[in-house]
Amino acid sequence: MGTSGGADTLASDVLTAAGQRRTFAVISHPDAGKSTLTEALALHAKVITEAGAVHGKAGRRGVVSDWMEMEKARGISITSAALQFAYRDRVINLVDTPGHADFSEDTYRVLTAVDSAVMLLDAAKGLEPQTLKLFEVCRHRDIPVITFINKWDRPGRDALSLCDELVERIGLQPMPLTWPVGEPGHFRGVVDLAEGGFVRYHRTAGGATAAPEERLSAEEAEAAEGAEWTRAVEEAHLLTESGGGFAASRYLAATATPVLFGAAVLNFGVRHLLDLLVSLAPGPGPRPDAHGAPRPVDAPFSGFVFKVQTGMDPAHRDQVAFARVCSGTFERGMVVTNATTGRPFATKYTQQMFGRERTTVDTAYPGDVIGLVNATSLRVGDTLYADKPPVRFPPLPTFAPAHFAVARPVDLGRAKQFRRGVEQLNAEGVIQVLVSDRRGDAAPVFAAVGPMQFEVAAHRMAAEFKAAIRLDPLPYSTVRRLSDPAQRVLVDSGSRGEALLRSDGVYLAVFNDDIALGMARRQHPELKLESALHDA
C-alpha cells in the first residue's frame, strides 16, 4: 500500500508541475521582430531589466537569445535557443527559432518540441512566405497558434485587411482580443476586447524598459481619442460579429487564432501576449510514440533531442544536446537509455538555458527543455527514457537539400581537426554531410537547404575547429531518394548525376537539373527513385 501511495504521489506531482508549464515557439518571416519580441517577453516577466539590441540600435546590448557571433554581427537569428523563466504561477519555456529561411529545418525541429506557437506578423507585410510554410507545419501538427501583429508603431496596412488575409490565405479565423487605436505609425494603444476599456501605452527611452500602461474607461477613451477610438471599436465589432468572437475551444482545436496588436521594440502589447499564453495556451499533454500510442505525462521519464549545439561556451567548446521532457520527472544524475543505440547515457551535467547563460538543473518536468552537456553520443532525434518498457518517439524531419558543395581543408596538415569539425556539424544538423564512391571520405559533400548554411559551416570550421575550409560548389539542383543502394552505379554512370550517401544511411541521387534526371530515367528504366521531401 505504501509503495502504491508513493507512486500516486509522484504521479500527482508530475501532473501538477506539467500543468504549470507553457512551452511555445515564436515563428515568423525574417525581420518581423522575433528576437525583439523574445526580449520583450523576458523583460515583462522581469527576468531581465533592460531589453537587448535590435541590430543597428546604438547603445543597446545584444539580445540574449542571439549568442552566436554571426548572429550578433548580422542581427538575425540563425540557430535556435531556449529560454526558461517564471511568470505569475507558470514556468515559461520559450524556444526561439532561426529567423532566416535557410535554417527552416532547425525551426521545423523546434516545432516538434513545443505545445503552442506565436505567429508574428509584420503590420506592413502581413503573411510572408516563410511564415506560411511554418504555419503549415503547425497545422499539420495541430499546434494552436496565437497571432501577434507587430510593428504597429510604423506605417503599415489596416487591421481589417490583415485579419482578412488570415482567413483568405490560411483558412484561420481571427479572434481579436485587442484592437489598435490609431493607424499604423500612430499607435496610441488598444481596445481591450476581453476586459473592456482602453489601454494606452507610454514610451520609454529607446524602448529598453517595460512600457507603462494607462487604463481608461470607454467614456474616457472616447473623450481622449475621439474618432480614433470610435473607429477602432467599430472595426473590432465588425470582425467579432462576422465570426471572430472569441472561443477558447476553437483556439485549442487550431481552427481559429486569437489576435493581438503591438510593437515589440517599444514593449507595447507584450503584457497582453504573456498573460494570454499563461491563461490560454495548452500545457504538456500525452505525446504519441513512434507507434502512435500516446505516452501519458505521468509515465516514467522520457524525452527527445531536438537540437545539438557546440560552441556555446567558447572556453570549453562543449557540446549541448537540447531535449524536451515529455513524461515523468527528470533528475540530474539519473542514467537513461538512448533508444537509438540501446546504450545508457549518464546525465551528470545537465543545465537549463537562458540564451547562452546556464544554470545547473536538478529536476525537470514535462514541457521543460534541458541542456545535456558533453553529450557527444547524442544525435538529433534520439529518444531518452528511464525504466521499462522502452519508448521511442517519431523521427524528426530531414529535408531534401537544394545546394551542394565539396568541402576541403585549406591546410592539409589540419586533416584531423577537419574531420572532427565535419562530424560535429553533421551531428548538429548545421549541414548534411554526404559521401560518394566517386570522391571518397576525404572530400565530403556539404548539402544545405539554403546557402547561408554554408557560410555558417565555413565560419564555424575556421573559428571553432581551427580548420579553415574551401567550398567548391556542385551544379546539382534536382534530388531524389535512391530506393536500391545497389543502383548507385547507374546514377554515377552519367556525367550529370551522382549518388551520395547521407549519414543516416539514405542514398540520394542528385542531378544537374530535371532534364538530367529524365535522361537517367530513359537510359535506366529500372532505376528506382522516390521523392526526397522531408521525412516528417
Q: Which three cell numbers stand for residue 55?
A: 541590430
How many Cβ atoms from other residues are within 10 Å of residue 168's Cβ?
11
Nearest Cα neighbor of 166 from 101, 119, 124 is 119
CATH 3.30.70.3280 fits 403-531, yes or no: yes
pLDDT of residue 104: 61
CA distances from 223 to 196, 198, 216 (A): 16, 11, 10
d(CA 419, CA 414): 9
The listed range with the strongest mean pLDDT (46-60, 254-268, 316-330) is 254-268
pLDDT at position 208 is 73
Q: What percent of the chain has pLDDT over 90?
A: 58
The 3-state DSSP class for residue 272 equals helix
Q: For residue 15, give the H/E element and its range.
A: helix 2-19
Length of the chain: 536
Q: Of 57-61, 144-148, 269-273, 475-479, give the lowest mean pLDDT range.
A: 57-61
Residue 221 clears pLDDT 80, i.e. is over it: yes
Q: Which of the residue ranges 138-147, 203-212, 330-339, 456-465 would you say has the lowest mean pLDDT? A: 203-212
Residue 232: name the closest of 283, 297, 184, 295 by CA. 184
Burial of 445 (0-12, 13-18, 19+ CB in 10 A): buried
The candidate with the shortest Cα–Cα distance to 527, out of 501, 507, 505, 502, is 507
| DSSP tag of 505 | S
287-385: CATH superfamily:
Translation factors (2.40.30.10)
End-to-end CA distance of the chain: 45
Distances (CA, A) of 18 to 300, 301, 327, 407: 13, 13, 9, 45
Report whether pLDDT(534) > 60: no
Lowest mean pLDDT among 243-252, 303-312, 452-461, 468-477: 303-312
Give the pLDDT confidence score for residue 56 in this predicted structure: 34
Reported confidence tier of residue 67, pLDDT bands at 50, 70, 90: very low
Annotated binding site for GTP: 96-100
Burial level of 274, CB count in 10 A (0-12/13-18/19+)? buried
Confidence check: pLDDT of 115 > 90: yes
pLDDT band at residue 136 using 50, 70 and 90 as cut-offs: confident
Enter the C-alpha cell of residue 400.
531534401
pLDDT at residue 314, rounded to an integer = 57
**Per-position DSSP letters for 67-127, written without gaps between them:** -SHHHHHHTS--S-EEEEEEETTEEEEEEE---SGGGHHHHHHHHTT-SEEEEEEETTTBS
For residue 339, give the amino acid letter. Answer: A
**DSSP label at residue 181:** E
Q: Where are the alpha helices (DSSP H) in 95-217?
A: 104-111, 129-140, 159-170
Query: Is domain 24-280 classified as CATH 3.30.479.30?
Result: no
| Span 373-388, average pLDDT | 89
Range(s) within the chain of domains with CATH label 3.40.50.300: 24-280
Under 8 Å between Cβ of 180 and 238: no
pLDDT score recorded for residue 279 = 95
What pLDDT does 126 receive? 95
- Mean pLDDT calculated for residue range 193-217: 87
| Mean pLDDT score, 325-329 | 97
Percent share of the chain, pLDDT over 70: 86
Residue 116, by phi and psi: left (phi above 0), alpha (psi -120 to 50) or beta? beta
Q: Can you give the pLDDT at residue 511? A: 96
Average of per-residue pLDDT values in the chain: 86
* pLDDT for the residue 481: 93
**Averaged pLDDT for residues 281-293:** 96
CA–CA distance, 83 with 65 (Å, rounded to integer): 7
Q: pLDDT by residue (tens digit) across 419-439?
A: 999 988 887 777 889 998 888
Q: Considering only CA atoms, which of 153, 198, 187, 180 is closest in space to residue 261?
A: 180
CA 104 to CA 497: how far, in whole Å? 26
Q: Are 101 and 87 in contact (CB under 8 A)?
A: no
Structure confidence at residue 248 (pLDDT): 96
What does the pLDDT read at residue 356? 54
Say if residue 10 is exposed, middle or buried (CB neighbours under 10 Å; 0-12, 13-18, 19+).
middle
**CA separation for the pair 249, 98 (Å, rounded):** 30
Q: What is the pLDDT of residue 288?
A: 96
Asked if residue 366 has a cis previous peptide bond (ω within 30° of 0), the answer is no
Start-end ranges of CATH 2.40.30.10 in the chain? 287-385
| Side chain identity at residue 296, one-letter code | P
What's residue 61's pLDDT?
Answer: 45
Q: Bigger pLDDT: 50 or 467? A: 467
pLDDT in tens, 150-174: 999 999 999 999 999 999 999 999 9
**pLDDT score of 79 more than 90:** no
> So what's the pLDDT on residue 60?
40
Task: Report helix, strand or coil for 517.
Answer: helix
Cut 0.85: pTM above it: no
Candidate from 288-297, 308-317, 347-356 with smallest mean pLDDT: 308-317
User: Number of helices (H) and strands (E), helices first, in the chain?
Assistant: 14, 31
* CATH 3.30.70.3280-classified regions of the chain: 403-531
| 218 pLDDT more than 90 | yes
pLDDT at 369 over 50: yes
pLDDT attached to residue 239 = 92
Backbone φ, ψ for residue 66 (5° rounding): -105, 100
Q: What is the mean pLDDT of residues 231-258?
A: 94
